Amino acid sequence: MGAGGRDFHNFNTFFKDRPDYQVVAFTASAQIPGIDDRRYPRSLAGKLYPKGIPIASEQELPELVRDEDVDLVVFAYSDVSHEYVMHKASWVASLGPDFMILGPRSTMLRARVPVIAVNAVRTGAGKSQTTRKVCEVLKAMGKRVVAIRHPMPYGELGRQGVQRFATYADLDRHKCTIEEREEYEPHLDRGTADVIVWDGGNNDFAFYKPDLQIVVADPHRPGHERLYHPGEINTRIADVVVINKIGTTDYKNVEAVRASVQELNPDAVIVDAASPISVDRPEAIQGRRALVIEDGPTLTHGEMLYGAGVIAAKRHGAREIVDPRPWLVGEIKETFRQYPAIGALLPAMGYSKEQLRDMERTINACECDVVVIATPIDLRRLIDIHHQFLAARSRKKGEARARPAKSAPSRGRLARAAKKPPVHGPRVRKRAAGSKPARKTRRGRR
């Protein structure tokens, strides 16, 4: 059960080339539209799957379990509540199979160079700004840095086994979605290097074993650091927790997150960070009706009711935040149907040409005076906006405010990680003597 990222990685690191398992299908959640009705290609699936592996809608799971006599269902997507995960577990158990979640030990790869991982407790916490700041600090120290991004394989999977982006033309060549561009563009001007910075996706944990684990928490959503999967895992394994956006929320929320982190992970160093929001032409907002475009995933499955764009529009005196819902068309209208809590904002959606077209039509139909774009990319590269528009951007600024109660174990953990020899793939535990083996099918568990 996945959403076109963690599920494929879990297959590659745990199930691929293991004849004791037969993977009969991936399922795609509604979190990412249009990624079902495809195949994980033979070139990636390996020799045991000469026809590849089908990708079906998650809603087809009962039929798959029945028709394929499935023994095991693996949950493999992120940014969902613990309650949501357990509802899925109960659904699966009611159908008969076992329910599994693979952890870091079984899925993290080891690199031959140092790795700094930047992850978050929720989508929209400010992870990408933090990654860029880490890269800047490392470069100022004379280090050469390369960013590896959590994959977002929404296109032709056979051509996306490995993707390298050095220029904007590479983004066009690989037909990147808006979400992909939001993550890749800010890194393009930073060069290549020999130190890896893992730039995480959603609130998932890293694909590579980090020597330093940085996790970003969001005081606009206090409590989510322990209520969402797999964000709580990140909170518990972090070496450093960055409490971001402290300048745009009540301080009691910051203290609530701090207390929660200290309870879950007393060894973590806690850093308070502001994300100052800059606007290129703030005078264009004063007294005017503003349509605000925010980061898509932050508003949809991230469940935020506002972002940097709304804060900037209100701070600079917008007369009104324009509600785009009367002008929604096509797939953008469907997005609001799926996520009705979005409200008077427009999420930047562009998983397909159709979504880009419908977003352009929606923006240009809105009765507004100015469009405030609070996404990390320049939307003008992708769509034609007829209204006056301006960009709102966040940048990282922080300082250490709290030390862990026990700092020595943190340093020891990092030292031990750095000394471990490189390995690739999971550790597969042998069955203990006398234990009952998993039920077999023609090629093992299904």
pLDDT mean over 99-125: 95
Q: What angle do CA 327, 393, 399 make, to 5 degrees?
A: 140
Mean pLDDT value across the chain: 84
Inform me whether the pLDDT recorded for 54 exceeds 70: yes
Q: What is the mean pLDDT of residues 232-244?
A: 98
The whole-model pTM stands at 0.77
Q: Which amino acid is at 196?
A: I
Cβ 132 vs Cβ 226: under 8 Å: no
Cis-peptide into 230, omega within 30 deg: yes
Residue 363: what are its φ and ψ, rounded to 5°? -60, -50
Q: What is the pLDDT of residue 11?
A: 96
Which tokens is 104 given? 């870091």
Model confidence band, residue 144 (pLDDT cutoffs 50, 70, 90)? confident
Instruction: Give the pLDDT confidence score for residue 170 in this predicted structure.
Output: 65
Whether residue 157 is predicted with pLDDT greater than 80 in this model: the reply is: no
pLDDT beyond 90 at 436? no
Q: In the predicted model, is pLDDT for residue 371 greater than 50?
A: yes
10 compared with 165, residue with greater pLDDT: 10
- Using a pLDDT cut of 90, give the percent of the chain over it: 55
Cα–Cα distance measured from residue 106 to residue 76, given in angstroms and rounded to the nearest whole number? 13
pLDDT reported for residue 364: 95
The winner for highest mean pLDDT among 107-116, 171-180, 372-381 is 107-116
Q: Rounded to 5 degrees, what are φ and ψ at 55?
A: -115, 115
Q: Which amino acid makes up residue 197?
A: V
Average pLDDT over residues 385-399: 79
The residue whose two tokens read 């709580």 is 232
- Map out the domains of the chain as residue ranges: 6-105, 108-276+397-419, 278-393
- Cα–Cα distances in Å, from 205 out to 122, 272, 276, 366, 377? 11, 21, 26, 39, 24
Contact, 290 vs 321, CB < 8 A? yes
Q: Residue 119: is its pLDDT beyond 50?
A: yes
Query: What class is the 108-276+397-419 domain?
Result: alpha beta
Whole-angstrom Cα distance, residue 302 to residue 299? 5
pLDDT value of position 442? 39
pLDDT tens-digit series, residues 19-45: 999 999 999 987 776 677 789 999 999
Sign of torsion, CA 211 150 395 135?
Answer: positive
Percentage of residues in the chain having pLDDT higher than 70: 79
Instruction: Tell me which residue has tokens 């004849």.
Output: 19
Residue 59: φ, ψ to 5°: -65, -15
| DSSP H/E element including 116 | strand 115-120
Position 128 scores a pLDDT of 85
Q: pLDDT confidence of 242, banded at 50, 70, 90?
A: very high
Name 278's bridge partners. 393
